[in-house]
């Protein structure tokens, strides 16, 4: 069904953008400087038009071929659950403008490995009068549980522990950052699998800036605080158990190996930034020195590391073995804005900046436009592109061109965090979900693209701002 944004949904976007701007400025402002210009002579392959998938047997929704669960922030402001063979199921129903002039906004959907879906409900009279509730539920299984209810604060980012804790009973831990009193506060809450709160919400650390990464067993976190300190925090003991001697370089967030006790950070060495793997007391430099900021992520099996770094122009993705050998530049795609490992570790989905096939109304964000303008380039001449790179061969296939929605852009801008907690990939490593702003119709649309059939058109899921896949079937 073709439609324009309704009045209720339209009214919420200016406030939403104000909130996003506040998050960006407070959480990790230097990331705005990493966006460079695209090469004007980059290839511009043709893209087939977008079509809706065949109707499901119910005749209610387009067919949804991907396995797993998809949480969609729809254009009516509510969250929906999309699953194969079923029409979209509303998780929330009350988004929009209230009679008292307040606006309700839902955002920040995040899945746990065990099927919890957390999200934020924001009720705002104006940008200075904001209340938010953090909720979690297993859609269709447990009712929503309020994890935190607070005024005059802004939710920034949250990530579930990689596995359920099982010391006494199965449970799931959720850590999240809140901008509170001009500082980032890291909260932690523990849920039982039946929906009961085992450990109440508590603040475990404060800093500005503040970044964290879960250990693979969910018992500890690696913290990067104040742009100067790396520490290990033990959840059960509720204390810092290790302080790393490494002097941090310029990067946004550390990365604990997904399979063992190794850390991936950027270290400061002889006045330069250098990527390094820390294993106990052994530090292995990866041989890459750079200016600007580094953005990196482990492969799911912990054998490889992919990274890129800010600069002008943007760098391609580089892959190296975790011992520092086998460095390869995946230069089939240049000017990389964000990248995401596939769950099976064989592919990397890449978002890049490319010359537009037609004049565009925007190029992602004000930071993108400003950088292009400083170089004498017209921001209207650029758009974004999804590609997928085969890690073994380095070959790349272009999938789709698009303009990111506000929520999608926020994920890309801070992908070094979101790459580890919010999956754009379906659990079978076949489909990618993304949100596109269609300027011709003023619509936001969530699509699936099939990486195994790159010539097939993207599949429309529904009108929306953002889609996030669950981590399991």
pLDDT digits (tens, 9 = 90+) for 58-111: 333 457 899 999 999 999 999 999 999 888 999 999 999 888 889 999 999 999
pLDDT for 31 beyond 70 = no
Q: What is the pLDDT of residue 289?
A: 80
Across 161-303, where does the E strand assignment appear? 171-180, 183-192, 197-207, 210-214, 220-225, 229-234, 239-243, 255-256, 263-269, 272-279, 282-290, 294-298
Q: What is the pLDDT of residue 237?
A: 94
pLDDT for 463 beyond 50 = yes
Examine residue 365 and state whether it is found in any structural domain, yes or no. Answer: yes
C-alpha 28/C-alpha 34 separation (Å) is 12
Residues 134, 120: contact at Cβ < 8 Å?
Answer: yes
| Residue 280, phi-psi category: left (phi > 0), alpha (psi -120 to 50), beta (remainder) | left
Examine residue 295 and state whether it is found in any structural domain, yes or no. Answer: no
Examine residue 72 and state whether it is found in any structural domain, yes or no. Answer: yes
Q: At what angle do helices 406-413 and 7-27 cross, to 10 degrees?
A: 20
Q: State how far Cα 135 lies from the chain centre.
A: 19
Instruction: Summarize pLDDT for 188-210 with one digit per residue, the tens.
Output: 999 988 888 998 999 999 999 99
Q: How far apart are the first and last CA of the chain?
A: 28
- Band of residue 166 on the pLDDT scale cut at 50, 70, 90: low
Lowest mean per-residue pLDDT among 156-165, 252-261, 425-434 = 156-165
Q: What is the pLDDT of residue 251?
A: 85
Highest mean pLDDT among 23-32, 112-121, 306-315: 112-121
10 Å CB burial of residue 192 (0-12, 13-18, 19+) is middle
Number of CB atoms found within 10 A of residue 465's CB: 25
- 454-459: average pLDDT: 93
CB-side neighbour CA atoms (13 Å) of 96: 14
Q: How many domains does the chain have?
A: 1
C-alpha 473/C-alpha 111 separation (Å) is 12
- Band of residue 279 on the pLDDT scale cut at 50, 70, 90: very high
Examine residue 229 and state whether it is found in any structural domain, yes or no. Answer: no
- Band of residue 424 on the pLDDT scale cut at 50, 70, 90: very high
Q: What is the pLDDT of residue 368?
A: 62
10 Å CB burial of residue 312 (0-12, 13-18, 19+) is middle
Residues 6+ apart with CB under 8 A from 14: none
Lowest mean per-residue pLDDT among 3-7, 161-165, 406-410, 453-457 = 3-7
Q: What is the pLDDT of residue 471?
A: 94
Adjacent-strand bridge partners of 180: 183
- 258-275: average pLDDT: 90
Q: What is the pLDDT of residue 426?
A: 97
pLDDT for 470 beyond 90 = yes
pLDDT for 403 beyond 70 = yes
Q: Is residue 83 helix, strand or coil?
A: strand
Q: What is the pLDDT of residue 427?
A: 97
Q: What is the pLDDT of residue 24?
A: 36
Examine residue 458 and state whether it is found in any structural domain, yes or no. Answer: yes
Q: What is the pLDDT of residue 313?
A: 57
pLDDT for 282 beyond 80 = yes
Q: What is the pLDDT of residue 173?
A: 94
Q: State how far Cα 248 lies from the chain centre.
A: 23
- Band of residue 116 on the pLDDT scale cut at 50, 70, 90: very high
- Band of residue 277 on the pLDDT scale cut at 50, 70, 90: very high
Examine residue 370 and state whether it is found in any structural domain, yes or no. Answer: yes
> Average pLDDT over the chain, rounded to whole?
82
pLDDT for 242 beyond 70 = yes
Residues 36, 310: contact at Cβ < 8 Å?
Answer: yes
Q: What is the pLDDT of residue 366?
A: 62
Q: What is the pLDDT of residue 370?
A: 65
Examine residue 416 and state whether it is found in any structural domain, yes or no. Answer: yes
Q: What is the pLDDT of residue 7?
A: 34
Percent of the chain at pLDDT exceeding 70: 81
Residues 459, 62: contact at Cβ < 8 Å?
Answer: yes
Lowest mean per-residue pLDDT among 115-129, 162-176, 324-338, 347-361 = 162-176
C-alpha 47/C-alpha 357 separation (Å) is 10
Examine residue 343 and state whether it is found in any structural domain, yes or no. Answer: yes
Instruction: Summarize pLDDT for 308-353 with one digit per residue, the tens.
Output: 986 655 789 999 999 999 999 999 998 898 999 999 999 999 999 8
Highest mean pLDDT among 1-5, 384-388, 402-406: 384-388
Range of the domain at 467: 35-78+332-473
The structure's pTM equals: 0.85
pLDDT for 473 beyond 90 = no
């Amino acid at each position: 069904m073709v439609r324009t944004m309704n009045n209720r949904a339209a009214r919420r976007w200016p406030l939403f953008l104000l909130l996003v701007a506040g998050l960006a400025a407070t959480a990790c402002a230097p990331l705005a400087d990493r966006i460079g210009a695209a090469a004007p002579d980059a290839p511009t392959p043709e893209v087939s038009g977008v079509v809706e998938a065949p109707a499901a047997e119910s005749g209610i929704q387009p067919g949804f071929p991907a396995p797993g669960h998809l949480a969609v922030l729809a254009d009516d402001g509510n969250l929906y659950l999309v699953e194969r063979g079923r029409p979209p199921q509303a998780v929330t129903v009350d988004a929009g403008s209230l009679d008292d002039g307040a606006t309700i906004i839902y955002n920040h959907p995040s899945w746990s490995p065990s099927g919890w879906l957390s999200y934020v409900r924001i009720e705002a009279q104006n940008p200075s009068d904001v209340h938010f509730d953090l909720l979690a539920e297993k859609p269709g299984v447990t009712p929503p549980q309020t994890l935190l209810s607070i005024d005059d604060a802004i939710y920034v980012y949250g990530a579930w522990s990689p596995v359920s804790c099982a010391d006494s009973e199965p449970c799931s831990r959720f850590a999240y950052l809140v901008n509170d009193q001009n500082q980032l506060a890291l909260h932690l809450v523990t849920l039982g699998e039946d929906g009961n709160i085992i450990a109440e919400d508590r603040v475990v650390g404060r800093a500005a800036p503040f970044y964290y990464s879960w250990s693979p067993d969910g018992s500890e976190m690696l913290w990067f605080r104040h742009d100067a300190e790396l520490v290990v925090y033990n959840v059960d003991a509720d204390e810092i158990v290790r302080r790393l001697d490494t002097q941090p370089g310029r990067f946004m967030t550390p990365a604990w190996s997904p399979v063992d006790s190794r850390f991936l950070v950027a270290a400061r060495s002889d006045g330069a930034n250098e990527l390094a793997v820390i294993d106990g007391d052994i530090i292995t430099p990866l041989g890459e020195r750079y200016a600007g900021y580094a953005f990196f992520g482990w492969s799911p099996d912990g054998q490889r590391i992919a990274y890129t770094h800010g600069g002008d122009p943007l760098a391609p993705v580089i892959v190296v073995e975790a011992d520092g050998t086998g460095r390869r530049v995946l230069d089939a795609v240049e000017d990389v804005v964000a990248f995401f490992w596939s769950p099976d570790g064989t592919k990397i989905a890449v978002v890049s900046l490319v010359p537009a096939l037609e004049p565009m109304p925007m190029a992602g964000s004000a930071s993108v436009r400003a950088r292009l303008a400083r170089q004498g380039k017209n921001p209207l001449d650029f758009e974004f592109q999804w590609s997928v790179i085969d890690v073994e061969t380095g070959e790349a296939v272009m999938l789709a061109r698009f303009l990111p929605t506000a929520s999608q852009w926020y994920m890309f801008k801070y992908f070094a965090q979101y790459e580890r907690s919010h999956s754009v990939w379906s659990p079978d490593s076949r489909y990618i979900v993304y949100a596109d702003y269609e300027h011709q119709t003023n619509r936001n649309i969530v699509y699936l693209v099939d990486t195994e059939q790159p010539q097939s058109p993207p599949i429309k899921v529904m009108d929306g701002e953002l889609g996030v896949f669950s981590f399991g079937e």
